[in-house]
Structure 1
Amino acid sequence: MKKRKMMIPLLSLAVLFPSASNTFASPNQPLSIDKVEFVGMDAPDTVEERSKMYSEASAIVTYNNGTQKTFPLEYKTLFQPGDVINGKTAGAAYDANGNVITNEAGKPYVSTSPDSNTLLSVNGKSGKLYMVNHYEGMPSNTIGNMPKAMALNTVEQDKETGELTVTDVKPIDFSADGGIWTPCAGHLSPWNTHLGSEEYDPDAKAHEANPEKSSVTQFARNYYQDNTVIGNPYLYGHLPEVTVHPDGTSTAVKHYSMGRLSFENVVVAPDNRTVYYGDDGGYTMSFMYVADKAKDLSAGTLYAAKWKQTSEKNGGSADLEWIKLGHATDAEIKKLAQTVKFSDIFETTADAEYAKANGFKRVKAAGRDEWLKVKPGMEKAAAFLESRRYGALVGATSEFNKMETVEFNKADNKVYMTLSTIGGGMTANPTDPVDDIHVSKINAGGIYELSLASGQKDRDGDMIDSNYVATKMAGLVLGEDLPTKDAAGNTANPDKISNPDNITYSEKMRTLFIAEDGHGHHNNYGWAYNVDTKKLSRIVSAPDGGEVTGIQAIDNLNGFIYLMAGSQNPGYAGYLSGLPSLGKSSENNDDSDNTNKEDR
Structure 2
Amino acid sequence: MKRVALSLIASAIALSLAGCNGDDGAMGAQGPKGEQGTAGQDGVNGQNGQNGQNGQNGQDGKDGSNGANGAGLIRIATVPAGAEVTGLFLNDAGDLFFNVQHPADSNTQTESFNKRPYNTGTVGVLTGVNFNQLPRNIVSTPVPASTAEQQIVMSAVGQYQILGQTGDTFAELGDKGLAGGLGVHYGINTKQEIIKNDNPDFNGFISTGENSGYLFTNWEAYPGGVSRLKMSKNTQGKWSIEEAMMVNFDLVHGTAANCFGSVSPWGTPLTSEEWIVDSAVDTTTNPEWNNPDDHNTDEMEALMAPAFPNPYRYGYIAEIKSPTATAPEAVKHFTIGRYEHENAVVMPDKRTVYSSQDDTGGVLFKFVADQPEDLSSGTLYASKLKQDAGLTDPAVTGFDIEWIKLASGTNVNIEAWIAEYDNITTADYVAGKTSYISMADVQAWADGKATYPTEAEGGSPVTAGKPMDNRVAFLESRQAARLKGATAEWRKLEGLAINHNRALEAVTGQDVVPGEIVEKAYMYIGISDIDNTMIDGKGDMQLSSRVKDCGGVYRAHIDTNYNLTRIEPVVMGGTYRSTLSGAERCDVNQLSQPDNVIVMQDGRIIIGEDGFQGNNTLWLYDPKAK
Partner of residue 301, structure 2:
221
Is 2:614 the partner of 1:495?
A: no
Partner of residue 414, structure 1:
522
Deviation at 1:36, TM superposition (A): 4.5
The SS at the match of 1:130 is strand
Between 1:377-386 and 1:90-99, the stretch displaced more is: 90-99
Cα separation, 2, equivalents of 1:240 and 1:213: 31
Q: Is the contact between residue 402 and residue 565 of structure 2 (CA under 8 Å) also seen in structure 1?
A: yes
> Which amino acid in the other structure matches residue 540 of structure 2?
D
Q: Is the contact between residue 397 and residue 568 of structure 2 (CA under 8 Å) also seen in structure 1?
A: yes
Is 2:565 the partner of 1:471?
A: yes
Cα separation, 1, equivalents of 2:154 and 2:127: 13
Question: Which residue, 184, 196, 201 being the options, matches 1:115?
Answer: 201
CA displacement, residues 313-358 of structure 1 (integer Å, 9 cap, x when unaligned): 4252111010000111111111111114865644549xxxxx99x9
Structure 2 residue runs of 5 or longer lacking an equivalent are: 1-103, 115-123, 171-176, 280-284, 425-433, 450-457, 504-517
CA displacement, residues 169-193 of structure 1 (integer Å, 9 cap, x when unaligned): 2121111221110000111111111
Q: Is the contact between residue 110 and residue 152 of structure 2 (CA under 8 Å) also seen in structure 1?
A: no
Between 1:336-345 and 1:77-86, the stretch displaced more is: 336-345
Partner of residue 271, structure 1:
349
Question: Which residue, 401, 414, 424 being the options, matches 2:532?
Answer: 424
Change (3 A) 1:482 1:247: closer
Cα separation, 1, equivalents of 2:278 and 2:239: 41
> Which amino acid in the other structure matches residue 416 of structure 1?
Y
Change (3 A) 1:165 1:400: same
Partner of residue 62, structure 1:
none
Is 2:555 the partner of 1:449?
A: yes
Partner of residue 52, structure 1:
152
Is 2:514 the partner of 1:514?
A: no
Is 2:373 the partner of 1:323?
A: no
> Which amino acid in the other structure matches residue 450 of structure 1?
A
Q: Is the contact between residue 9 and residue 76 of structure 1 (CA under 8 Å) also seen in structure 2?
A: no
Between 1:331-340 and 1:263-272, the stretch displaced more is: 331-340
Cα separation, 2, equivalents of 1:33 and 1:209: 50
Q: Is the contact between residue 273 and residue 296 of structure 1 (CA under 8 Å) also seen in structure 2?
A: yes
Number of equivalenced pairs: 455
Question: Which residue, 270, 275, 283 being the options, matches 1:195?
Answer: 270
CA displacement, residues 476-528 of structure 1 (integer Å, 9 cap, x when unaligned): 11001343677994211111111000111111x42211000021x23211101
The SS at the match of 2:620 is strand
Q: Is the contact between residue 127 and residue 237 of structure 2 (CA under 8 Å) also seen in structure 1?
A: no
> Which amino acid in the other structure matches residue 79 of structure 1?
G
Partner of residue 43, structure 1:
143
Question: Which residue, 76, 86, 89 being the options, matches 2:161?
Answer: 76
Deviation at 1:35, TM superposition (A): 4.6
Change (3 A) 1:49 1:379: farther
Q: Is the contact between residue 268 and residue 319 of structure 2 (CA under 8 Å) also seen in structure 1?
A: yes
If asked which structure has higher relative contact order (CA below 8 Å, sep 6+), I would say 1
Give the CA RMSD over aligned residues: 3.3
Is 2:486 the partner of 1:396?
A: yes
Cα separation, 2, equivalents of 1:41 and 1:347: 51
Deviation at 1:414, TM superposition (A): 0.8
Normalised TM-score (structure 2): 0.66
> Which amino acid in the other structure matches residue 524 of structure 1?
N
Change (3 A) 1:7 1:90: farther
Partner of residue 250, structure 2:
175
Q: Is the contact between residue 536 and residue 542 of structure 2 (CA under 8 Å) also seen in structure 1?
A: yes
Partner of residue 182, structure 2:
90
| Identical aligned residues as a percent | 28
The SS at the match of 1:39 is coil
Cα separation, 2, equivalents of 1:34 and 1:177: 41
Is 2:474 the partner of 1:384?
A: yes
The SS at the match of 2:555 is strand
Structure with the bigger percentage of strand = 1
Deviation at 1:15, TM superposition (A): 4.5
Cα separation, 2, equivalents of 1:178 and 1:502: 27
Is 2:126 the partner of 1:14?
A: yes
Deviation at 1:7, TM superposition (A): 4.4
Structure with the greater alpha carbon radius of gyration: 2
Q: Is the contact between residue 448 and residue 475 of structure 1 (CA under 8 Å) also seen in structure 2?
A: yes
Is 2:363 the partner of 1:285?
A: yes
> Which amino acid in the other structure matches residue 333 of structure 1?
I
Cα separation, 2, equivalents of 1:136 and 1:344: 26
Cα separation, 1, equivalents of 2:319 and 2:105: 40
Change (3 A) 1:207 1:157: farther
CA displacement, residues 87-121 of structure 1 (integer Å, 9 cap, x when unaligned): 5211211222694617xxxxxx4211111111111
Q: Is the contact between residue 189 and residue 305 of structure 2 (CA under 8 Å) also seen in structure 1?
A: no
> Which amino acid in the other structure matches residue 111 of structure 1?
N
The SS at the match of 2:614 is coil
Cα separation, 2, equivalents of 1:408 and 1:309: 23
